[in-house]
Every structure is written in structure tokens, then in C-alpha cells.
Structure 1
Amino acid sequence: MPFFYDHVNTLEKHHPSGIVFSFNDEETDGETWHWHYGDSTEYRCKYVEGSAGASTVVTLHGRECLVEDYFISVVCEDVEAFVRNQKKEMYYIKLEAWKPYRDQKVLETIINRMCRCLENSLQSRTEKLKVQNLSLPVLKISQAISAVNLLDRDFLSMVTVDLPFEDQVFTAEDLIPLMERQGWRRLGLTIQLHKFSPQVLEEVRKFINCTSKQLNLIIIKYQYIDEECYKLIEEATFCKVDLILTGEIVFGVNDFRDQLQEITMRKRLKLKLSDNTISINIFEVPLIMRSIASHLGCPQIQSLRKVSRGIRQCVDYVEPDPHILSYYIWLGNSLRVRIDSMMNRPIWAHYKGSLEQDAVQIEKDFDLNTRHQKSCMDELYIEMFKGIWKLLEEDHWVRSMIFIRLKHALMSRTSPLKVRKLTLITHWQCLLMEILPYLDAEYLESISIQRIRGIDEECTIDLDEIIKTEQWVKAKELCMKTLTARTSIQDMNILNFETIDISMETMSPGDITYCRKASCFEWEF
């Protein structure tokens, strides 16, 4: 029986936005993530010798439990349960092979079993699963192809194939079947391997030439690279190299070279320059930059802006979407920010100046990072800690300095910021009113307002202004169980919500009657 799946709440069972299972030959870490929550749910399975042979210690919610079964058997049952019962679209499924490991043969057996378990669970579904990003360690490319062919190809946007061992290589012929059933949507492909060699580059060339109509980009991640590859990549004509980072090369596969040639010819005619004197930086051509930037996340876009003045002007002209998933701001003794992006690992920023300096910089960074965000973010999360709460409670000017600056950044956009969930850890209505009214009401589904951690006294909140906003009226989920609402529940305008979790200061008989009539309530005293 699945352990992790059976011990998480119903929402996480049927509607997780992402699941991750990272394993080696002795243990596994699992995680479910849902955009409604700021935190994920994690568990760990570790192999131990039990009285009946191989057993597994499972750690979940800080508690340990001994399961009389081999650890990967426990994990496979959970993977199958999550995949088989998933009801909604997902951002990602990640199965990851860890390093270091003790026994390669054992890990190879585990990888085979995980691939087979994923394939079996996908086959058992009545409808194809909608997943944007699939990551899978394999011994053979055909294992990834089998899994991908069981997914909804019109929804899938990125496949990551991990070749975890040093002796693993791939050929274009291995990869081409991955693209054969691709429909109207172009697919991105990431390959993780041990070494990038000239032969790898040649296989990438063959693959791109055969699949350029179905392929969006191909990313090669590596631990080592032959020095001669850098020159070969610079001279490559079969694609454009979007980005070269330490351990990662991105090959763009859009049809752009004819367009670039036409632009170059126009510039030559206009400037009356010969072929020998013209010099054009393709990163300063808006058409090319638009193609490049569409595959980049927030950190790469900001890095491009720092290369030169011309490139910065070009980036600002094309206004690329940074594809930010979540934006977290923590206001404590030190101020911190984290940005989660669809295309990158989380970005962290720590601010160590004075409060006034940090407030200015946080607003500038927020404006710069989100100014051209067009896609809908999963969450905007702002948490105030006890230390700064005491300071802000005494000084309204300091309080306004932080939140009003964020409001100005939101107001300066050409269109409201699209966010599915707003989480604010504070009990001041005035601070909420600096943020909530400036989000796109058509996209905001969930509002979460919670008390500041570490405050012992009871915290209450007034809602008389918040409940008048369009965002409140159109939201579907409200969570406010750690704060006590002063406003009468009948005045709170909450019948539009589908899910409500709140605490009330008082409840009159009329309030109770009102709650009984509202289908959204499951209430208790």
C-alpha cells in the first residue's frame, strides 16, 4: 500500500501541481507541491535491515515509521498512486537519480523499476495525464519515449532525460522517436550527461536537422566538456546558441537565420557599408532577441541586460516574459526575496543595508523582475516577522515605506499583475490594501491572510475595506484561520468563495443561520 499518498490530505492526493522523487541506491526523498500552499509536503524513505529482512524507515511530518518492505517498493507504490489518481493538470513530475551512490548495479535496477512503475501508472489511466514538465533518469532513451507517449503531447512543453552514469551516451537516432508523435506544440528537450564532447555536438546537430519543426530548444547539461567544443559551438551553423553557462548549453531551434540575413542586408544597404565592414551583434536585433528571450527565465534575462547598453536596450524593447512562478518577500531583521521560475532553480536575494535602503532596493528589484510578467504567477507571498512588526507598529512611516513602494510598482504596470494566490502574513488591513486592489481580479483565486509567527497575543483584523474590492468578490478560496475577523460574517461578502477557513470573533444566531444556508461552509464551534 502507498504510504506517502495515504498520509497526505485529499487536496494533495488528487490535485498536486508537482511531485518529486529523488533517489539513490539507499534512500528516497519525496515531495508534493501545490500552488495554493507556500510550503511543500516532504517525506523520506531509507533502507534499513529489519527483523524480516529489508525494511524502510519512512519519515513524514517529523515522525518515523518502520515499513516491512524494500524502500523502492514503498516509493513505487506512492508514485503509482499519485500518477494514477491525479485529477488536474500538473506543472511537473520529477524522478531524479541522486549522487553519490554506493552500488551502480543496484541503482540501475532501481532506475529500471521506477521507469516501469511510471509507465504502468500512466497506462492505467483512463485519460492521458497533462504535465508541462517531465524529468526522468533512464538507462535507455526508449524508457523516456515510452513514458512521454503516454502523456498529453499537446500539453507537454519540456522533457528532461537524465543519463546518470559516466558511460552513458546518446545518438540522434535514439532521440528522433521522441518527437514523432509531437503535435502542434513544439517540445523542449533537456539532456543531462557526464561529458560534453565533439561527438555529442554532432549528435545534437543531426537531431536538430531532423526535428527542427517539432523541437523548440535542446539543453545539454554536463559535468565536463572538451575544450575544443567551445570553438566548434561558436562555428556551428545548424542552430543558434542561446546561452552558455557553466555546465549548461542551450541550443535554440527557431527558424531565424533567413530573417537575420534579411535584417543584415537592410542594414548594409542603409548604411552603405561593404560586407567586410559591417558588424552586427545579433543580441541587439529585436527579432532575434525576442526569439532568444522567449526561452529564458528571470535570471538569464537580467544577466543579458548587464552585458552591454545595446543589449539592455534591446531586451527592454522586446519586453520578454520572465515566466516567474512565485515571488516571496520576507520582512524580518534582514530582508530576503526568493523567485521561483518555470525555467530555473529558485533565485535568492539577501538585503543587508538599512531598512530604508533595503525597502528602496526591494521595490526596484520587484519592478524590474515583474514589469513584463505576462503569464499568471502561482503566488505572491509577503511575510512580516515579529522583529520588524514591532518596529512597524511604532513607525507608520517605515510601514508605508515598504508597502507603498510595492504598490507603486504594481500601479506602474501597463496591466494588473496576474497572480493565482496572494498570501500576506500580517494583521493590518492597511497593508493588504496596498497590494490586493492592484492584482488582476480575473486571475486571483485564493487569498490567504495569516498571523505573524511568534506573537503570543490574539490577533484580530478588520476587513471592512478589503471586502469591497473586486479581488475579494471574485476570489474562490479564503484562508484566515490564524487571525480573528472582527467584521460580521454576514457583512463579509463571502458567498462567492468555494473554500473558506476562517476564525470569527463572535457569531450571532443570525450568523449561524446564514452559515447553514451557505453551501461553501463546513463549520464547527
Structure 2
Amino acid sequence: MSYQWFPATQKNNFTTIHVLYNCSSIILKLKSPPNSLKIEYKDVAGSTLVEYERNEKTVEDIFFNVLIDDLKLLVKNQKSCLLSLVVKSNNYFDVDEGYNESRLDPVISRIIDCLAASLREREQKLKIYLVVLETVDIRQAATILNLLDLSALKFIEIAFGHREGSVEISGILEVIQEWTNGRKNLELHFWLYDLSAENLDVIEKILLRSTSFYRIEVYYKSCGTNLKNYFKLPFQELNQSVFKNITFMFKVEDPESTVQEPPIENKESFLVLENPLIMKNVLEYLECFEIQRLLKTSYGIRDCVDQLKPCPRISKYSISLESDRSVQTTITLNSGRYKKVRYEKYRDWDGNCGVHCGKKYMEGENLWAVVGNDFNLVMKNQNDRIEELVLDFSFPHSFRENSRRPSLEYREISELTLEFLSVLELPFTSREPLKVKKLIIGSVEQRDVIRVLPYLCNLEILDIRYPYKKVIEKLLEVDELSMLSQWKNANELIVNTIQISTPIQEMGIVHSARVDILIPSISSDEIFYLKTVSALDDGLTTTFPS
């Protein structure tokens, strides 16, 4: 159906295939860098409305049957290794509203049956790096996993978080045994409604193969067993939203974490790359991720690369403070490739604290300092202008009232944000101003923006957003911001989700081509002022709170 709309060069070379379902629609998300595609299949009185970009078409069939026609072609024709395959509910795991098992089970079963049939028809097993499956039962999940090339698979998530009661998971053990055979650095997640005694026994059996994993996570809503007395291996307990979480982390040696000196027989080839003239030509074709790996090849190559200071060719850098214990960053390159990195505080059974990031455990380290240091390492040689810098201080996990961890007050959130920006200010001050086209910053405090804005240049768009899901009675002042050259020189100013308290005459907005702001009210003097400012003309949009 919509498969015919895809560009010919992308039809067999997607990097992600995500199928997000609910009772009345399915969203198909595809990525083929630098492009992202989204197709929605909506139930309209028994027919299906298919929407893709500006295209739409009505098909006289059930919505999940229409999706299946496209999914068959996608899976059958995919040639390259997928970064991720996701089949799950379009609800967050902490939201059960709209999840109706009796209505959804036929939808899920049709999608899984189609996926399994398409995988069987392939000449070679499909290689996938990450798989997320939210199915009716463990048999369906095991069927899909058995049809994949497990040699490429690094991450499996199996979810039954919306299904009330206990879903038996012992059927996954054979798959896990084959998957872990002789392999290292794997990650496994389970989302369960009830953590039953039977499922605890399955998890304990999986833990016997712990040398293959660096991380195993189990999310659950209820459990009648004292877990600290049940498991022999140490674990962390976290609480996210309505789910409880136990995490087993294993200190697996990461071959990329340190510089690896080459074997004697490869010394000559490595010495060639230590020549700055040769290395300079090589670096012309590399981006951030390859450069970081190159730095760990040998000390001689690292010295050579450090001397040449190659630009990592970053397009977007995003930092999201999720709670006082976790941060997620996303780095997107000019080529469209991207990497997400999660940093988390941890405390082991001996009371030792530190930061966990990927396969690394940094004992005694401060969370903010680790994130700031990594930002500096990645961005220190970025001389080209990046398209977008995103600083999101929303702390979504800290505002959740139904979490077992106490919800933080706004005062505490504000102090944590200021602490983080004090750390981030150090890499900014140690380099030339960072060239940024668009800054998106989520904060209601003028001081937070002032901590960042002076260290940027070539800024065209400044977008200040209200970051919180919880309502905070706070107005944004911009009297000091308006004095900064970055504010004055921005072509576009967007502050349309936070009310600005500063009078319009003092906002310094006359230099911008487009201004979109939210203000609590407007006086006759301000209206007269705007009429006399010819530079803005039709480029000003003012919004009033409803």
C-alpha cells in the first residue's frame, strides 16, 4: 500500500522499523538516514485511512490488514542490518488507559504472524542490533527471536507490562541459551505486570549465564517475594513511575574502553597511520564515532589524532536531565547516524556510589561532571556550525507523583539545573564560542539561559520552552537576556509556551525577523509601540494564555 510511496533507494535499506499499535490505529516509523518516515493506519468505520506525509488514501479493509501488506515487503526486502526492530503498544508502560486485551490480541497476533511469515521467506536471516517485542505471550516473542540472526543481536526487550496478572516467560530460556552461547556484553530487559515465583525462577536461571551480560533489567508492578532474600547476586532497586525495577549490572571488560596496543605483526601498518600527512587524509572521511574508536587503537595514533584536532562533524547534540539520578544524551552526525547514551547514578551493596554509562562503571564519580566531561571530549574540536543544541531540563521522572521515590519540588529541580549548568559552563569557557544554528532550551529561569547563550555564536533561532509536565506558576523574565548580542542577533525568537513578564518595549525584539511569544496581557502603550516598529511588520506573533 504505502510501500509504493517510499523512495526506491530506501526500500531495502532502513535502519529502524518500529510498529506502534493500539485498538484503532497503527503507526509505522522508519528511518533511513538522513530521512525519517511515519505512516499511520487509522480505523475509520471499518475502513482504513492511510496517512504518509502529504499523501493519504482510504482502503476498504481492516487497518491492521493494510499495515501487514507493507510490513511483509519491508521485512522481506530489507538487506542491511537493522539497528532496531520494535513491535509494541503505542502507550507508555505506566499508562494502561486504552489497552484492551480482548481487542488488541487479534491485532498483535496478526502483526506477529505476518512478521514471522516474512522472516521465514527471506533467503538469509535478518540481522538486527536491538529488538523490542510486546506480544500476547512468550511463545510469540520466542518465535520471532528464533527467526533472527542472533549473532548480531545485542539487546532484547520483552514486554508484558500492560497485561494484568502473571505471564509465564519460561519459553524464552532456549532462545537465551542460544543467544548467549560464547557471547559477551549483551543486555536483556523484561517488563512484567506481576513478578511471580515461576518467573523469578526463570530470571534466576538466566542469571547463571551472567558472564554473557553486562546488564539485565526487570520491571514489574507487583511481587509477593522479598527479592533481597531471593537473589544471590547483588542488584539495584529503582522506581520509575508505577513500575518497580531491579537491575543486575556485571563488570564485563569492554575492549573499547582502553587503548589497545597492536600485536607485533601489525606494528608496521599502525606506524603508517601515525604519520600526520596520511592520518589527515584518513580523517577527512571520518566522523565522531569512528574518531573516538580510532583514539583507542594505539597511543601513537591517539597522539597523532590529538595533534590534528579533526572536526567530529556533529549535526545535533541533545542533553536531557530525566531525574536527579539519570541523564540521556543524543549525538546526531551530519550523515544522519546517531547514538543515545544514558548516564545513571548507582549505589552497590557495599555503599559505593558512582556513575554507570553503557558498559562503564565509574566509581566515586559525579553524574553531572561525567556528562559535562563527555560533552567536552566530543565537542572540543567541533569547529563547523551544528544545526541544533538541545538542553532539556524537564526532569520527567522526578515529577511523577505515583513513584515510590518522593516527587521533587520545583525549588529542588531549579537547584539541580543550576548545578548542572555550572558544570557545563566549564567546557564552554575552555573553547571558542560554539557555532549553533538553533538552541532549544527547556527552562523557566532567565539565569539558566544566560549560563549558555553567551558561549554560542552564529545563532539564528532561539527557542525557550516550558519543560515540565507539572504546572509551575512561574513567569519568564528576559530583561537581562535581551541585552545579550545572541538574543539581539537571532533571526527568530520563540517563547510561546512560557508567559513572559518583561514589558514588550524592554524585550529587545525589534532586530528579529520573526518573533513568537506568549504574554499574560498587552497594554495600549505596547500596541502603539508595536505599530511603530516597522522592522517586525508581520513577523510578530503574540499569544495570550487561555
TM-score (norm 2): 0.48
Q: 1:221 aligns with which of 219, 222, 241?
A: 219
8 Å contact 2:237–2:245 — kept in the other structure?
Answer: yes
- AA matched with 2:51: T
Superposition deviation, residue 134 in structure 1: 0.9
Q: What residue is the counterpart of 1:91 in the other structure? A: 83
2:363 is matched by which residue type in structure 1?
C
* 1:130 alignment partner, SS class: strand
Contact 1:329–1:337 (Cα < 8 Å) also in 2: no
Match of 1:336 among 391, 395, 409: 391
Q: Does 1:65 align with 2:57?
A: yes
Instruction: Give the Cα separation in 2 of the matches to 1:60 and 1:403.
Output: 37
Q: Structure 1's 239 and 385: CA in aligned 2 closer, same or farther, altered over 3 A? A: closer
Whole-angstrom CA distance in 1 between matches of 2:88 and 2:70: 15
1:184 corresponds, among 182, 186, 189, to 182
Q: Which runs of 5+ in 2 are unaligned?
A: 91-95, 253-325, 330-340, 356-361, 380-385, 395-416, 429-433, 442-449, 462-489, 494-546
Which residue is equivalent to 1:45?
Answer: 41
Which residue, 4, 7, 10 being the options, matches 2:8? 10
Taking only aligned residues, the RMSD between alpha carbons, in angstroms, comes to: 4.8
> 1:461-472 maps to which residues of 2 (within 5 A)?
none
Matched, 1:311 2:354: yes
1:284 equivalent in structure 2: none
Q: Which residue of 2 aligns with 1:138?
A: 135
Secondary structure, counterpart of 2:183 in structure 1: coil
Tell me which amino acid in the other structure corresponds to 1:233. Answer: L
TM-score when normalising by structure 1: 0.50
Flag structure 1 segments of 5+ consecutive residues without an equivalent: 257-294, 340-357, 370-379, 388-396, 405-423, 428-451, 456-525
C-alpha change, 1:296 and 1:213, in structure 2 (3 Å) is: farther
Once residues 192 and 392 of structure 2 are traced to their aligned partners in structure 1, the CA distance between those partners, rounded to angstroms, is: 32
String of CA shifts for 1:173-196, please: whole Å, max 9, x gaps: x22111232243244222222223
2:292 aligns to what?
none
Check whether the contact 1:219–1:251 (CA below 8 A) recurs between aligned residues.
yes
| Aligned AA (1:114) | I
User: Deviations 1:78-124 (Å, cap 9, x if unpaired)?
Assistant: 22222222222222111112454475333111111111111111122
| TM-superposed deviation, 1:403 | 3.7
> Is the Cα–Cα contact under 8 Å of residues 385 and 453 in structure 1 kept in the other structure?
no
Query: How far apart are residue 454 of structure 1 and its match?
Result: 6.3
Aligned length, in residue pairs: 321
Residues 368 and 221 (structure 1 numbering): CA distance in 2 closer, same or farther, change over 3 Å?
A: farther
Q: CA deviation at 1:315?
A: 4.7
Which of the residues 48, 54, 59 maps onto 1:56?
A: 48
Match of 1:384 in 2: 438
Structure 1 residue 22: Cα displacement: 0.8
| Equivalent residue runs for 1:18-167 within 5 Å | 18-37=16-35, 40-49=36-45, 54-98=46-90, 100-101=97-98, 104-163=101-160, 164-167=162-165
1:130 positional shift: 1.7
- The question of whether the paired residues in 2 share the 8 Å contact of 1:297 and 1:323 is answered with no
1: CA distance, partners of 2:64 / 2:193: 25
- Equivalent pair of 1:25/1:101 in contact (CA under 8 Å): yes
1:249 aligns with 2:245: yes
Identity score, percent: 18
What is the letter of the counterpart of residue 137 of structure 2? K
Paired residue type of 2:455? I
The answer to whether the 8 Å contact 1:179/1:214 transfers is: no
